Amino acid sequence: MSYRLLLGAAVLLAGCTAGTTPAMNDRLDTVMHDYAGDGPGASVLVVRDGKSIERRSYGFADLEAKTAITPHTNFRLASVSKQFNAAAILLLAQDGKLSIDDPIKRFLPTLPKEDDAITIRHLLTHTSGLIDYEDLMDPKDTSQIHDRGVLRLLEQERKHYFTPGTAYRYSNSGYALLALIVERASGQRYADFLRTRIFDKLGMRDTVAYENGISTVAHRAYGYTFENGAWTRTDQSTTSAVLGDGGIYSSIDDLAKWDAALYDDRLLPQPVWKQAFTPATKTDDPTIEYGFGWRITGETLWHSGETVGFRNVIVRYPKRRLTVVVLTNRNDPEPYETAKKIAALYLD
């Protein structure tokens, strides 16, 4: 079978979902046209009223092996991971192991005195003023940094972008520290806490906070960048081993289970979820506010994730019970606008 026929079969298999029509399928395929073919591609999930009404996949997860993407393919979520980190913090608050307004130095006492005023809430909402760890890394060091490495860099940093709590600046540093707080408050490794308290409980069997040499990624998609007229594998960077800001791999099938859990009390009571979904701060875009691991724009809760070789987004319309997820293993384009176009096909 040719590669194009293989892809066509994969898309057809993934696209036969109850509740849609051939015309709707054609419109979705038109929106996703650029992801089809012999290059790296995408998986698309549409959930309405708790049912997956579209599960469609395009392109290859592994160009070298010519492995087609399917609804089971796991992509590096990048910053879509942040919502799981925020959920872990909320779980520990429910357990009485921490308070959202605890100073972070309760758990990370080696940080400098200049960080005394920073709270867990500041980290969750990107209002800490912490310096981006990427800007503190030695550009000559090509080894991967981990969450504890982020802490070591910040232990030496006395400056902030602004006084904590007075402004917003998106902070991967903050979410790396949150992962360490989860470890110290729970007594478990961060990846283990996510697995036992979230992924296993929801039946997200293939979702993992990936650690090279410790865990594996089933049905793994590799990331690619288009350069010099060809696709080049660009799956990992020096920051790819940091778990708290973007280290989770998942599939559209597992994310359908995650989305369902946000509507009920299996993980957390709805009043607790409401903390994550309520605007806590304005951002640098006047149309967007931020909660705990979620961007909030009008009626939508959403988050994008971008890292070397991957571009992803989840967009939820809670009042309409509609969710769109687009996961891709290529450097371009950013899929937020694509997800909104897909949502428009299904909104009344």
Q: Give per-residue pLDDT as tens, 26-50.
A: 899 999 999 999 999 999 999 999 9
Alpha-carbon dihedral sign for residues 71, 74, 79, 81: positive
Q: Tell me: do 228 and 339 sit in the same domain.
A: yes
Average pLDDT, rounded, for the chain: 94
Greatest Cα pair distance, the chain, in angstroms, is 64
DSSP state of 198: I
Question: What percentage of residues in the chain have a pLDDT greater than 70?
Answer: 94
pTM over 0.85? The answer is yes
Residues 73 and 222 in one domain: yes
Give the per-residue pLDDT at 24: 73
Residues 184 and 220 reside in one and the same domain: no
3-state SS class at 188: coil
105 shares its domain with 64: no
- Domain count along the chain: 2
State the residue for tokens 């909030």. Answer: 296
Measure the CA–CA gap between 315 and 141, rounded to whole angstroms.
36
Give yes or no for residue 5 having a pLDDT over 70. no
pLDDT digits (tens, 9 = 90+) for 63-115: 999 999 999 999 999 999 999 999 999 999 999 999 999 999 999 999 999 99
Position 343 scores a pLDDT of 98
Instruction: Indicate if the pLDDT at residue 205 is higher than 60.
Output: yes
Residues 121, 35, single domain; the answer is: no
Instruction: Work out the burial of residue 321: count CB atoms within 10 Å of its CB; fewer than 13 is exposed, 13-18 middle, 19 or more buried.
Output: middle
Assign 12 a pLDDT band (cuts: 50, 70, 90).
Answer: very low
pLDDT at residue 2 greater than cutoff 50: no
pLDDT-based confidence at residue 245 (cuts at 50, 70, 90): very high
Q: How far apart are CA 88 and CA 160, in angstroms?
A: 26
Is residue 103 in some structural domain? yes
In angstroms, the Cα distances linking 11 to 32, 42, 113, 336 are 11, 11, 55, 21
**Predicted confidence (pLDDT) per residue in 298-325, tens digit:** 999 999 999 999 999 999 999 999 999 9
Q: Per-residue pLDDT tens for 51-63?
A: 999 999 999 999 9
Tell me, yes or no, whether 132 and 280 share the same domain.
no
Q: Which domain holds residue 147?
A: 83-190
For Cα atoms 48, 223, 197, give the angle at the middle one, nearest 5 degrees. 55
9 pLDDT higher than 50: no
Q: Are residues 177 and 67 in the same domain?
A: no
Rounded alpha-carbon distances, angstroms, from residue 244 to 2, 10, 114, 182: 41, 33, 22, 10
pLDDT given for residue 20 in this prediction: 62
pLDDT for residue 211 is more than 60: yes
Specify if 207 maps to a domain. Answer: no
- Evaluate whether 324 touches 342 at the Cβ level (below 8 Å): yes
In this predicted structure, what is the pLDDT of residue 19? 55
As a whole number, mean pLDDT of residues 10-20 equals: 48
The pLDDT value recorded for residue 158 is 97
CA–CA distance, 86 with 201 (Å, rounded to integer): 17
Supply the residues annotated as catalytic: 79
